[in-house]
Amino acid sequence: MKLHVAGICGTFMAGLAHLARAVGHVVTGSDSNVYPPMSDFLREAGIRLHEGWDPAALDPATELVVIGNALSRGNPLVEAVLDRQLPYTSGAQWIAEHVLRGRDVIAVAGTHGKTTTTAMIAWILDYAGLAPGFLIGGIPQDFTVPARLGDGRHFVIEADEYDTAFFDKRSKFVHYRPMLALLNNLEYDHADIFPDLTAIQTQFHHLLRTVPACGTVLWQADDPNLANVIARGCWSRQLRFGVDDGEWRLGETADGDFTVAPPGGAPQALSLPLAGRHNALNAVAALAATANAGVPLATGLEALARFRGVKRRLELRGTVGGIDVFDDFAHHPTAVAATIAALKRRARDGRLIAVLEPRSNTMRAGVHRESLGASLAGADAAWVYAPPNLGWHVDEAIAVLGARGHLAASVTTLVDDLVASLLPGDRVLVMSNGGFDQIHTRLLTALAAREQAPAR
């Protein structure tokens, strides 16, 4: 079958395109936001990309259009699909019908940590020789591809609560019918879709309704928002993890090293290359999920000690003149604060400089402006990109930072001013859920030019 994937450069849709090719379909795709790492991955996979929404991308031989949730009525390609009466479906529905059916699905849900935790679970299962299939919302460093069919019975999928498509406003994860649903955490996000936290909790409740009685709901017991979801009804076996509560516990030694204690067992050393307490808690969730699938804890710990993470999750993009430039996908204040804390935990001389693009729909709507300044407070200095069309006053939001807070109305100004202020030993942490106008490359290029400039 010839498929056209509309919105193919989204992390989920790019993985779907890869799986569709793996099962033998001819795949093309369109998107308006074509940027690495997904654009590179698709081109390397030999999938033809059309930039923009020109209906001409719909070759007459197209038999099915898989439409991503970023597209809505009024989009030229969507209108062409409807006018021509072409068969169409959503990405989540296609995955459910053509990939997940007959598999033991492990679905990883939550506001934060979905991508990393999904990658951890897939890696542990693979390390244990179980050959899982997976669909991860990023490029895992241990697999180099975001999705594969796998030969084993397990399929691990990042389970997003965002809506499915313009014609299906349910959360994507209700399509997946998991045997194990992992609920990592829950906060208010996606203000363009959900009016309040209660609306998101309702979608999580709907997810729990799809888990069979012989299945498992694994949830973070320290999260009161998840506790409220569970209280609304859970018909499956429950397994909990956390710091203060749960059968699986994250601990910390006096030296600052992390431990994990399994149900009824003694704490075991948790050696994890990724920084941060939030990643350690992700690891505990992954160990609980894989133990539920039959992987011994010792094997899971061995695997995590070799886990290399996911691109755009505290990824070191380069070092010039003793200055490190990191890239991270953080875009919610909780994630921003946790990412800064994680990098600060790697103690060393020099400053930590945070650079943030408030790009998510929720951030652009100003929903998190009251907590934005506090989320950046752990950095020695913070730069926020505030384009003129943002619609709210970033200067007021970061006033709590005093002289440590800086605004820039353009990426060019931000790069110029930031580079002029950087010193050897500094670490620059760039956070955005988009391409951020290739700021990482521009920073490294500008730093290299500064290094090569003749001394005055």
Residues 165-204: pLDDT tens digits? Answer: 999 999 999 999 999 999 999 987 776 788 889 999 999 9
Q: Which two tokens stand for residue 373?
A: 């300044």
CA distance 286 to 149: 20
Question: Which backbone phi and psi does 408 adopt, to 5 degrees?
Answer: -145, 135
Whether the per-residue pLDDT at 110 is higher than 80: the answer is yes
- In this structure, are residues 448 and 322 in contact, taking their beta carbons and an 8 Å threshold? no
Count of C-beta atoms within a 10 Å radius of residue 434: 12
Whether the per-residue pLDDT at 455 is higher than 80: the answer is no
- In this structure, are residues 90 and 66 in contact, taking their beta carbons and an 8 Å threshold? yes
CA distance 239 to 380: 39
Q: What integer pLDDT is reported at residue 57 of this predicted model?
A: 92
Segment 280-300 shows an average pLDDT of 97
CA distance 405 to 383: 6
Question: Which backbone phi and psi does 427 adopt, to 5 degrees?
Answer: -120, 125
Q: What integer pLDDT is reported at residue 72 of this predicted model?
A: 94
> Which class does domain 102-304 fall in?
alpha beta
> Which class does domain 2-91 fall in?
alpha beta
Segment 286-291 shows an average pLDDT of 98
- In this structure, are residues 295 and 289 in contact, taking their beta carbons and an 8 Å threshold? no
Task: Indicate left, alpha or beta for 209 from its phi (over 0: left) and psi (-120 to 50: alpha).
Answer: alpha
Q: What stretch(es) of the chain map to CATH 3.40.1190.10?
A: 102-304
Contacts of 419 (CB under 8 A, 6+ apart): 443, 446, 447, 450
- For the chain, give the percent of residues with pLDDT over 90: 55
The pLDDT-based confidence of 347 (bands split at 50, 70, 90) is: low
The pLDDT-based confidence of 11 (bands split at 50, 70, 90) is: confident
Q: What integer pLDDT is reported at residue 361 of this predicted model?
A: 67
Q: Where does residue 303 rank: exposed (0-12), middle (13-18), buried (19+ CB within 10 A)?
A: buried
Which regions of 272-337 does DSSP assign to beta strands (E)? 315-320, 323-328
- In this structure, are residues 160 and 200 in contact, taking their beta carbons and an 8 Å threshold? no
Largest Cα–Cα separation, the chain = 73
- In this structure, are residues 341 and 277 in contact, taking their beta carbons and an 8 Å threshold? yes
- In this structure, are residues 156 and 170 in contact, taking their beta carbons and an 8 Å threshold? no
- In this structure, are residues 406 and 431 in contact, taking their beta carbons and an 8 Å threshold? no
Task: Indicate left, alpha or beta for 314 from its phi (over 0: left) and psi (-120 to 50: alpha).
Answer: left
pLDDT for 382-437, tens place per residue? Answer: 898 888 877 777 777 788 888 898 888 888 988 888 988 999 999 999 988 777 87
Could you write out the three-class secondary structure of 199-239? HHHHHHHHHHHCCCCCCEEEEECCCHHHHHHHHCCCCCEEE
Fold annotation for 315-452: Protein-Tyrosine Phosphatase; Chain A (3.90.190)
Higher-scoring residue by pLDDT: 366, 75: 75
- In this structure, are residues 139 and 145 in contact, taking their beta carbons and an 8 Å threshold? yes
Q: What is the pTM of this model?
A: 0.85
pLDDT for 362-373, tens place per residue? Answer: 677 677 778 788
Q: What stretch(es) of the chain map to CATH 3.90.190.20?
A: 315-452
| End-to-end Cα, the chain, rounded Å | 64
Helix, coil or strand: residue 293: coil
**CA 398 to each of CA 254, 282, 320, 364: distance values in angstroms, whole numbers, following the listed order:** 34, 29, 29, 15
Q: Which two tokens stand for residue 125?
A: 């299962």
Instruction: Find where tokens 């179980």 sit.
Output: 130
Q: Containing H/E element for 268?
A: strand 268-269
- For the chain, give the percent of residues with pLDDT over 70: 97
Whether the per-residue pLDDT at 348 is higher than 80: the answer is no
Question: Which backbone phi and psi does 223 adopt, to 5 degrees?
Answer: -100, 110
Helical spans, DSSP H, in 377-437: 394-397, 411-421
Whether the per-residue pLDDT at 68 is higher than 90: the answer is yes
Whether the per-residue pLDDT at 225 is higher than 90: the answer is yes
- In this structure, are residues 216 and 180 in contact, taking their beta carbons and an 8 Å threshold? yes
- In this structure, are residues 305 and 272 in contact, taking their beta carbons and an 8 Å threshold? yes
Q: Containing H/E element for 80?
A: helix 76-83
